[in-house]
Structure 1
């Protein structure tokens, strides 16, 4: 027998979607608990649970005696040939940051070896981390690089989490996205923990391959975007 979604979670999902769709702008004050209780046909305690979930996710904040206000809306994130995390969010008026979760050298997984045009069981560097804006996680990522071509890659990433800066240390001053695949997923418990969203919340996964100017693959990446925090847009750049 399938268990029903708690009413407060359903209300939180509705409000989260309305904020993502622009019904409430950043800085807007949300309706009162009483107004939401009347709208959804529930008691104020149920509404308070829903709003508390959004506060915990950083989508809204509560000011004692003043009400609940929208903290952020989805960031536009262009997907094009030249995709640079910091440039994208800075251009959108956001403050970008990255947090390193793990750096390791290991045997390439079959799909990684194929994407990077490597021999089976070749070694790769794997960089996993969080992309943030305004201190709010918006994406979980894994970037994988050929270890033989970029022997000190992880050392550079420890000093500076920027992939662009790390690749520049090896003479890769420019690289472009050769392919991108996007599909919808539901957040696992671990992904939800990192992204500060509910388990089972919608996320968008992209799988991309970046190449140097001579067409040689230099990076294969997977990124899991929090669905209500990011709006992916297609770009020719």
Structure 2
């Protein structure tokens, strides 16, 4: 009967038991994929199927170019589900363009255009040294952090209504005092070090927050409140 169980599932079960037994602890890196596939005597494709099973169970997280890690026990978000309003809007079919206003002393200032209209002013204070050639017009900050070797554990976000400050009004092409959302997000690494502190000012007449509630979860999504076409 055991022979009828697919090899990838047997591997996933074995690795899951090792994680739960503490052989691999929260935040630990798993051996490289080639090493694991050799130790189990399977192909890389089979090994990756097993890792996908573990990802679906929330037991591991994977960082492009970095490796596979046991999910931190304290993580509020899985790494592969950290999302931003930009990702939400692009998934809905909107064109989001990024204009880099400044980048110096670890502070990245960006303007986001939604379907050609200024919609979001974002300032990110970055604690991790990044490669100087990163082009933030096309590269996301999370991707740049991963390339720099930072492993994200969790993020917390606070969103409140506010009024457009005068020093940002010109960028967003709205009068100072216009209604806005203010998003403050703190991104934390595996060692509990703060990696990024974000502050985004989002035009209240172009954007809205949509919530989906279920018995076991709450999903928040950014959306456009008007037809920009």
User: What TM-score, normalized by structure 2, do the two folds share?
Assistant: 0.51
Q: Distance in 2 between matches of 1:173 and 1:92?
A: 28
Shift of 1:215: 3.9
- Map 1:145-164; keep pairs closer than 5 Å: 145-146=126-127, 150-157=128-135, 160-164=138-142
1:129 aligns with 2:107: no
Q: Secondary structure at the match of 1:156?
A: coil
* CA pair 136-220 structure 1, distance change in 2 beyond 3 A: same
Higher relative contact order (CA 8 A, sep 6+): 1
1:165 aligns with 2:143: yes
- Map 1:20-35; keep pairs closer than 5 Å: none
1:90 alignment counterpart: 90
User: What TM-score, normalized by structure 1, do the two folds share?
Assistant: 0.50
- CA offsets, 1:186-231, max 9 Å, x none? 1123322111112211111111101234543211110100011111
**What is the RMSD of the two structures over their aligned residues, measured on CA atoms?**
2.5
Q: Distance in 1 between matches of 2:141 and 2:157?
A: 18
- CA offsets, 1:37-72, max 9 Å, x none? xxxxxxxxxxxxxxxxxxxxxxxxxxxxxxxxxxxx
2:157 alignment counterpart: 180
Q: Distance in 2 between matches of 1:199 and 1:128?
A: 19
* CA pair 202-85 structure 1, distance change in 2 beyond 3 A: closer
2:103 alignment counterpart: 103
Aligned length: 135
- Map 1:1-237; keep pairs closer than 5 Å: 81=77, 82-105=82-105, 125-146=106-127, 150-157=128-135, 160-172=138-150, 174=152, 176-177=154-155, 179-234=156-211, 236=219
1:121 alignment counterpart: none
Q: Distance in 2 between matches of 1:159 and 1:138?
A: 15
* CA pair 159-169 structure 1, distance change in 2 beyond 3 A: farther
8 Å CA contact 2:94–2:114 kept in 1: the answer is yes
8 Å CA contact 2:98–2:138 kept in 1: the answer is no
* CA pair 103-197 structure 1, distance change in 2 beyond 3 A: same
8 Å CA contact 2:120–2:172 kept in 1: the answer is yes
Q: Distance in 2 between matches of 1:85 and 1:183?
A: 15
Q: Distance in 2 between matches of 1:217 and 1:184?
A: 25
8 Å CA contact 1:186–1:202 kept in 2: the answer is yes
